[in-house]
Structure 1
Amino acid sequence: MAGFKDLKGQGHGQTLFMAFLYFDMSFMVWTMLGPLSTEIAEALALTGHIMTAGEKATLLSLPILSGAILRIVLGFGVDKLGPKMTALISQAIVVTALLTAYFMGDSITYNALLIVALGLGFAGASFAVALPQAGQWYPPKLQGVVLGIAGAGNIGVVIDFLFAPKIAELWGWSAVFGVGAAMAIVVFIAYAFLAKDAPESVYKARPKKLKDYGKLLKDKDTWWFSLFYAISFGGFVGFAGYMKVYLMNTYSVDMEAFGLDVLDEGNVKVIAGYFGALCIFAGAILRPVGGNIADKIGGVKALYFFYGAVAILVAISALVKLPFFVAIFVLFLIMANLGMANGSVFQLVPQRFGKDIGIMTGIVGCAGGLGGTALIKTLGWSKGAFDGYAAGFLIFAAVVVVALAGLSMVKTRWRTTWGVNSGGMI
């Protein structure tokens, strides 16, 4: 049973760190529109464009959607060009998108923002590069903890929610994109010098053709893993992207009172960012813990626990009008369990598809992004149709229950077939 201490003397720590940092920066800029949603809506309103609930959900979900699709593209790039070259090309596109938003500033239009959102999708697709780059350096028994560490780069969303609203308050929303671009350039340079692709003696690349993707899509386990990740990662990124909108629409009065009493300020947008960061932090920081737990007790058993907790907590949020601080605590627990579920899913994937990890990371990662897109759109639909979020939460809870039923259907087959010789706990 592997743990963090077992990493000593294994793999390539420098590349593991840069994979984490690259993913961290990418995740930060990928979800940047979420914590700035209110400020951007106010800026567009000054130009005469009043965003509807549907338009806001579309803007927030577009980077998630494009990131999902691009994970397939970058997964293919990992096998053809190698992780490092693929990452450098992707990072350059992201920097261009950030600088475009920064220089356009308050003159930007809604349609231009949609184009920027598409460009930011390349940051979300970094998942299909950073995780295989880290994982290629390490043996099967360490995949849970290694991919958990690399995947913990999603803590970048926390940075967004902590600092983006305050920077926007001081210098305007476009300044956030300027700061993001500067940081992304620094990471680009560091990554170029420090990250390395695994040599053939450690990992032999097996470039795939498009037909190989089709072959994997015919494997039913591909679809099971896609469903599980669409829920865990999709739930995490969906709630993260929509968190500020949800808090502003549901608890703005409570947050303003808290700000006036405790922080001596009533800027609800900034306070929403703080509470959003607190909840998102739980899911981001606990991803490697979930991978480590899965290494010890098996990914299936871990997912039973994490998904079960999420289904119950989301249903409570939907059916009970919770006091503000209780609601924040429940959201904190939801995000924590989703984060640990992310680590658990990717404790299993490399064991089942170790020889095709580049492509599978892209496929399963794509499903995760699609899940996040669907959740954001569902929450936006729920708000527009019912002026509340209960329906959206209940739909998500129902899908989690479907995943639990799916685990019951596959666990015996997995443990008695590929799990026997996988090299890790199933």
Structure 2
Amino acid sequence: MIGFNRLKGEGSPSTLFAAFLYFDMSFMVWTMLGPLATEITDSMAAYGFLMTASESATMLAVPILSGALLRIVLGFLVGVIGPKKTALMAQFIVMVTLFYVASFGEHMSYDELLLIGIGLGFAGASFAVALPQAGQWYPQRLQGVVLGIAGIGNMGVVLGFLFAPKIAELWGWQSVFLVAAFLSLLVFIIYLFMAKDAPKEVYRPRVKRLSDYVRLLKDRDTWWFNLFYAVSFGTFVGFAVYMKVYLMAMYFDDMEVFGIEILGEENIHVVAGYFAALCIMSGALLRPIGGAIADRIGGIKSLYIFLVNVVILLTISAFLTLPFWIAIIIMFLIMANLGMANGAVFQLVPQRFSKDIGIMTGIIGAAGGLGGVAILEILGASTLTFGDYTVGFMFIAANALIAIVGVSLVKRRWRTTWGLKSGGII
């Protein structure tokens, strides 16, 4: 696979694997409400609470918002106490949240679900821990592929969509949280023994202060990266979390789906989850490929390619009523290009902010999470107000177009300033 053989003899393979595993499990937990959204909605309806499309979108958005803000906090802690201690602390909070839902979830109110979403946000904040921990072990010329491998933890959301609906069908949606709690405990133990903070001769951390955040937020490049990641990762995670709701509304509204009779309402939830997982998987698996491509041709050129593809594909989805199989292929390609764009962005970030990668991962990751919240609210508002997703898709395509214009505005300055001495191709 592109660039992977270049890692031989470099860095810490055990830490890279532990960071990937921790991020993978965390991403599954962070987005867990997505594959269970329709089951939770039906369960609450049985108790008399009819959730609107907007309320459903808000329920899905709270963990994403919480995770976005907590990324800044955990990014700061990475610089103070190190990535390993930060990860173990966050993982413990996540496990407590999961065990609580498994024990008391059956009769939880809507407001309680929103509070649970805050706890799940600690899993989403793992982004600000796993990526710096992996990146600190490797040289600048390998950052694209290394952070891509760590970031392939996005695959966790695929696992959620593959297994959560089926587990919910068999034992109830609360049981999914119990399974996730025990898996999180297992990952906690593995991470405890395999992950290592980079020694000083490999990476010398600098204690971060509030003034460092202020300094970086005054840097215009910070905001450019925030924009690019809010569009690429924000759109990816927003679509990922909302994917099952979208498919259920558009294609899985009766017992016969695309010409095949589905036996039972529960089975429809499971099948929808499988197709959602298929689409999301492309973006998760191809993130390191995007980083490796960016290592070869530069992050700027890569972003052009991936984002232009996203604009074209979203416009097709917005204006054409597509047969099911064509729609799935289009969504698969959208997620693939978004995943590769995520890898391309983080091929550039360590080259520009190598001394502040912990804080910058938190800040830029937060922007990505906030972008995901916006996507969820846009999709919910689009269907509630206009009855379909046309306006929502065009709004998202416009965001990607803005990012393309942004890349055009910064490329010359970046290539003639910090890009000349970064050690990699930008």
- Judge same fold: TM > 0.5, yes or no: yes
Q: State the alpha-carbon separation in 1 of the partners of residues 258 and 189 from structure 2.
A: 42
Distance 1:255 1:410 in 2: 51
Task: Compute the displacement of 1:257 (Å).
Answer: 2.6
Q: Secondary structure at the match of 1:34?
A: helix
Contact 1:237/1:372 (CA < 8 Å) preserved in 2? yes
- The CA distance in 2 between the partners of 1:388 and 1:349, in whole Å, is 37
Residue 203 of structure 1, CA deviation? 0.3
Which runs of no fewer than 5 residues in structure 1 stay unpaired?
Answer: none
Counterpart position of 2:314: 314
Give the Cα separation in 2 of the matches to 1:237 and 1:271: 20
Q: CA deviation at 1:3?
A: 1.6
Q: Which residue of 1 aligns with 2:416?
A: 416
For the structure 1 residues 377 and 255, does the alpha-carbon distance in structure 2 shift closer, same or farther, using more than 3 Å as the test? farther
Find the residue that maps to 2:9 and give its secondary structure: coil
- 1:69-218 aligned within 5 A: 69-218=69-218
Whether the aligned pair in 1 keeps the contact of 2:58 and 2:377 (CA below 8 Å) is: yes
Q: Answer whether contact 1:63 1:118 (CA < 8 A) is retained.
A: yes
How far apart in 1 are the matches of 2:376 and 2:256?
25
1:147–1:343 CA contact under 8 A, matched in 2: yes
User: How big is each residue's C-alpha offset from its partner over 1:161-197, in whole Å with a ceiling of 9 and x where there is no partner?
Assistant: 1010000000000000000001000000110111000
Please tell me whether residue 332 in structure 1 is matched to residue 336 in structure 2.
no
CA distance in 1, matches of 2:249, 2:233: 24
Stretches of structure 2 that go unaligned for 5 or more consecutive residues are none
Match of residue 349 from structure 1: 349
Paired residue type of 2:240: A
Q: CA deviation at 1:64?
A: 0.4
2:404 paired residue number: 404
Question: CA offset at residue 112 of structure 1?
Answer: 1.1
Structure 2 residue aligned with 1:229: 229
Post-superposition offset of 1:80: 0.5
- Aligned residue for 1:244, secondary structure, equals helix
Q: Is contact 2:255-2:264 (8 Å) kept?
A: no
Name 2:58's counterpart in structure 1.
Answer: 58
Q: TM-score, normalised by structure 1?
A: 0.98
Matched, 1:241 2:238: no
2:3 corresponding residue in structure 1: 3
For 1:190 and 1:257, the matched residues in 2 are separated by 42
1:260 shift after superposition: 4.0
- Paired residues of 2:258 and 2:324 also in contact (CA < 8 A): no
2:255–2:263: 8 Å Cα contact kept in structure 1? no
User: Take 1:377 and 1:353, find their aligned partners in 2: how far apart are those partners?
Assistant: 31
Question: Which letter maps to 2:66?
Answer: S
Q: Contact 1:254 / 1:324 at 8 angstroms: preserved in 2?
A: no
Give the AA of the match of 1:89: M
The superposition leaves residues 350-400 of structure 1 with CA deviations (integer Å, 9 ceiling, x where unpaired) of 000000000000000000000000000000000110111111100000011
Residue 381 of structure 1 aligns to which amino acid in structure 2? A
2:285: which partner in 1? Answer: 285
Amino acid in the other structure paired with 1:225: F
The one-character-per-residue Cα deviations of 1:136-185 (angstroms, maximum 9, x if unpaired) are 00000000000000000010000011010000000000000000001000
Note closer, same or farther for the CA distance 1:255–1:139 as it changes in structure 2 (3 Å cut): farther
Contact 1:259 1:265 in 2 (8 A): no
Specify the SS of the correspondent of 2:206.
coil
1:303 — aligned with what?
Answer: 303
Asked if the contact 2:225/2:349 (under 8 Å) is kept, the reply is yes
Contact 2:232 2:342 in 1 (8 A): yes
Moved more, 133-142 or 266-275: 266-275
Contact 1:155 1:281 in 2 (8 A): yes
> 2:425 maps to what in 1?
425
Q: 1 CA distance for matches of 2:270 and 2:345?
A: 34
Aligned partners of 1:282 and 1:336 also within 8 Å: yes
Letter of the structure 2 residue corresponding to residue 219 of structure 1: D
Q: What is the aligned length?
A: 424
Paired with 1:370 and 1:46, the residues of 2 have a C-alpha distance of: 32
What TM-score, normalized to structure 2?
Answer: 0.98
RMSD across aligned positions (CA) = 1.2
Deviation of 1:12 after TM superposition, in Å, equals: 0.2
Deviation at 1:259, TM superposition (A): 8.2
Deviation (angstroms), 1:227: 0.3
Q: Distance in 2 between matches of 1:60 and 1:100?
A: 18
Structure 1 residues 301 and 88: alpha-carbon distance in aligned structure 2, compared to 1, 3 A threshold: same
1:192-211 CA deviation, whole Å, 9 max, x = no partner?
A: 11100000010000011111
The answer for the alignment partner of 1:358 in structure 2 is 358
For 1:50, the aligned partner's letter is: L
Range with bigger deviation, 291-300 or 315-324:
315-324
The C-alpha deviation readout for 1:29-60, integer Å capped at 9, x for no partner, is 00000000010011111221111111101100
- Whole-angstrom CA distance in 2 between matches of 1:378 and 1:199: 44
Q: CA shift at 1:105, angstroms?
A: 2.8
Q: Deviations over 1:286-316 (max 9, x none)?
A: 0000000000000000000000000010111
